[in-house]
Amino acid sequence: MKISVDGIYLPGNKTPIEGKQKECEDFILFGNLPIPHIILCDGCSSTYNSATGARILAHAAKKSLYNMIHVNRIMDIDYIGEEIIRRAQFVTETIGLNKDALAATLIMSFYWDRKIHTYIYGDGVYFAKSSKMSICSTINYDYESPYYLYYKIDPGAKYDYQLRLGSTELSVSFHEEISKFYSGGQDVERKTTNRRRAFNYNHHFIAEIKEFSIHMVTSDGVSRFVNKENTKRIPIEDMMDRLTKFKNTNGEFVKRRVLAEIKSLAKQGFDFYDDLAVACFLTEEDNAEGSDSGTNETDNTG
Amino acid sequence: MTEQNIIPPDLMKKFSGGNFEFHGTSTKHLKSTKYTLGIVAIDVSGSLYGFGSELTEMGRNVIEALRKDKANAPNMLIRGVTFASTLNELHGFKLLKHIDEQNEYPIFKPNGGTALIDVTYSSIEAIFEYARNLTDQEYTVNAILAVVTDGDDTTSSRKEPELIELLHQGARDEEIGLESFTRILIGMNTKDCGAYLNDFKTVGEFDQYFDMDDASPSSIAKIGLGISSAISSTSSVCGTGQASAPIII
């Protein structure tokens, strides 16, 4: 079994915030060593230095992942999330960066014991696909205000966040959509589930490597492809399906697919209005053509 | 063993159809998102007898110079051809690390006529076809063709209108998907053929024509530098949608 991994992050056509440089606040690290992994961060566009903060958070997460591998024990999502934000906090304090620069969603996806584990802190999309079905899990927060790991180290900001949501108590404040598409022959069945959970619930998805050949994670920018004429948006499930229709699976397979799809959508009048980060694991049998055979790459950025 | 010496057995794929035949690296071995396709076509007709070593050295030096462009070298696919009465493919579109210039550029022995229209037509066709193949696989592609010649066409089977038609067809064919296609014509010993080559520049829609006047070793060396510079420049803009800047020889 070979696992290829690739990713890309791109700045969207955002309206610049006054006084703030227009830069990509999404960031990705990925690689095959020591285990196949993806780390994706999406910085809050309304805070200063969030692009830098997203990068610090991503590297802090990478370090925690390496520690987990070192002790050869998968760690609880909440425990490792705490460790990551504390490590990132140390860095920002050391270099004198504003603490709220760490306001970013974090997605960690990694291979462990024949499974792909995906931890999501904040919003984002996890998409798994096989030849027979696909599962699209979209985490959205009310008022587009994700709960960041950063709130663990800033109680005042957390309190303000809860006030914004209309309650000072722990409350249900976001929903999750899971869509399953079954395709067998001519029948396609779609099952959608909406759930609501506590705002600080961290999502842990587990999928058997043999059950799905594609595991893709994206930032919420994937939902911001908008038609300039009629403001129509492309549904997330549709976008994920498009982004996983790889023509070939060598090397930078995600970059090629994403760039080609953006070009194609641009011809149809669609543009994307938020930063976009996309990364994917692709599993193939050992004798499959056109795949990377567990390359000796260390970390790559998109 | 260096990486350059590791040649996968299934590296090259043969493309043939209609009137064309060439070789190109299989997409199985192309890992990047973007590539520049470059063809260097070198005249080895009889009128260049005595300059075989210099022309060979020029071809090899182009490859070596391109390798030094660390930023862009991994994204270049270069094809080397020589032509006299007929075209000879030295090597197909290859990544620089897979080109063995010592063996694939043996000392040329200039002899025969000059099939300038045929080699230009064939090279453009090869670029269009290979680009179509890569574009279909969602690679971003641009291209450059450099033709080095000392003279009038004497033996081509194709005529100039066919070349013009090929270029127009290519411009209309979206499946080819080239971001840009730069064409450079370089004339040597142009005392007798300069006027013809000036006209041919228009026929082949070459972006630049360089009149080198003579075919001295120093001129040939300059040509090599100019070609590698042009290919590097083209590669540096691949993915931006822009054409490369004009070069100076």
User: Crossing angle for the helix pair A236-243 and A253-267, nearest 10 degrees?
Assistant: 130
Contacts of A259 in chain B (CB under 8 A): 33, 138, 140
Please, which pLDDT band fits residue B52 given cuts at 50, 70 and 90?
A: very high
Pair of tokens at residue A9? 């992050």
Q: Is B26 on the interface with A (CB under 8 A)?
A: no
Using an 8 Å Cβ cutoff, are A218 and A125 in contact?
yes
User: Crossing angle for the helix pair B217-236 and B52-67, nearest 10 degrees?
Assistant: 30
* Predicted local confidence at residue A172, as pLDDT: 52
Query: Does the distance separating the beta carbons of A260 and B28 come in below 8 Å?
Result: no
User: If you search the block for the tokens 């300069």, which residue do you land on?
Assistant: B194
Residues A75-87, mean pLDDT to the nearest whole number: 94
User: Crossing angle for the helix pair B160-172 and B116-136, nearest 10 degrees?
Assistant: 10
pLDDT at B246 > cutoff 90: no
pLDDT at A194 > cutoff 80: no
Q: How far is CA B18 from CA A84, B21, B122, B126, B178, in A?
A: 61, 8, 11, 11, 21
Q: Which tops the pLDDT comparison, B5 or B106?
A: B106
Classify residue B199 by its DSSP letter.
H
Please, which pLDDT band fits residue A72 given cuts at 50, 70 and 90?
A: confident
- Identify the CA nearest to B96 among candidates B114, B71, B117: B71
pLDDT at B2 > cutoff 50: no
pLDDT tens profile A19-34: 555 788 999 999 998 8
Residues A98-108, mean pLDDT to the nearest whole number: 96
Pair of tokens at residue A88? 């990132």
The residues facing B185 across adjacent strands are B147, B209
Residues A95-113, mean pLDDT to the nearest whole number: 95
Using an 8 Å Cβ cutoff, are B90 and B81 in contact?
yes
Using an 8 Å Cβ cutoff, are A9 and A24 in contact?
yes
Instruction: Please give the radius of gyration of chain A, using alpha carbons only, rounded to the nearest integer.
Output: 19
pLDDT at A292 > cutoff 50: no
pLDDT tens profile B148-190: 999 889 999 999 999 999 999 999 999 999 999 999 999 998 8
Residue A280, SS3?
strand
Residue B38, CA atoms < 13 Å, CB-side half-sphere = 31
Residues A191-208, mean pLDDT to the nearest whole number: 83
Q: Is B128 on the interface with A (CB under 8 A)?
A: no
Among A252, A260, A290, beta carbon nearest to B32: A252
Q: Which tops the pLDDT comparison, B192 or A61?
A: A61
Lowest mean pLDDT among A177-181, A209-213, B20-24, B204-208: A177-181
Residue B238 burial by Cβ neighbours in a 10 Å radius (0-12, 13-18, 19+): buried
Angle at A208 between CA A204 and CA A210, to 5 degrees: 155
Lowest mean pLDDT among A7-11, A97-101, A199-203, B201-205: A199-203
The residues facing A126 across adjacent strands are A137, A217
pLDDT at A168 > cutoff 90: no
Residue A231 burial by Cβ neighbours in a 10 Å radius (0-12, 13-18, 19+): exposed
* Cα–chain center distance at B170: 17
Instruction: Catalogue all structural domains in chain A, each as residue range(s) with its CATH number.
Output: 2-14+23-153+171-285 (3.60.40.10)
Which residues of A lie inside 8 Å of B (Cβ-Cβ)? 247-248, 250-252, 255-257, 259-260, 289-290, 292
Please, which pLDDT band fits residue B1 given cuts at 50, 70 and 90?
A: very low
Among B31, B136, B140, beta carbon nearest to A251: B31
* Cα–chain center distance at A74: 20
Which helix (DSSP H) or strand (DSSP E) does residue A60 occupy?
A: helix A50-71
- Identify the CA nearest to B79 among candidates B115, B126, B149: B126
Q: Could you tell me which CATH number the domain at B28-236 has? A: 3.40.50.410
Contacts of A252 in chain B (CB under 8 A): 31-33
pLDDT tens profile A110-159: 999 999 999 999 999 999 998 888 888 888 887 788 889 999 999 999 88
Disruptive mutation site among B3, B30, B33, B174 for chain A (greatest number of A CBs within 10 Å): B33
pLDDT at B201 > cutoff 80: yes
Q: Which tops the pLDDT comparison, A177 or B205?
A: B205
Amino acid at B41: A
ipTM of the predicted structure? 0.89
Domain ranges of chain B: 28-236
- Identify the CA nearest to A26 among candidates A2, A58, A48, A1: A58
pLDDT at A166 > cutoff 80: no
- Average pLDDT over chain A reads 86
pLDDT tens profile B123-136: 999 999 999 999 99
The torsion of the CA quartet B199, B203, B204, B206, rounded to 10 degrees, works out to 50
* Predicted local confidence at residue B190, as pLDDT: 84
- Average pLDDT over chain B reads 92
Residues A167-176, mean pLDDT to the nearest whole number: 54
* pLDDT > 90: percent of chain B: 82
Output b/e per residue, A153-189; b: 16+ Cβ within 10 A. bbeebbeebbeebeeeeeeebbebbebebeeeeeeee
Angle at A9 between CA A24 and CA B181, to 5 degrees: 105
Instruction: Indicate the length of chain B as a whole number.
Output: 249
Residues 6+ apart with CB under 8 A from A116: A109, A110, A128, A205, A206, A207, A209, A212, A215, A281
Q: How far is A254 from chain B (nearest CA, A)?
A: 9
pLDDT at A227 > cutoff 80: yes
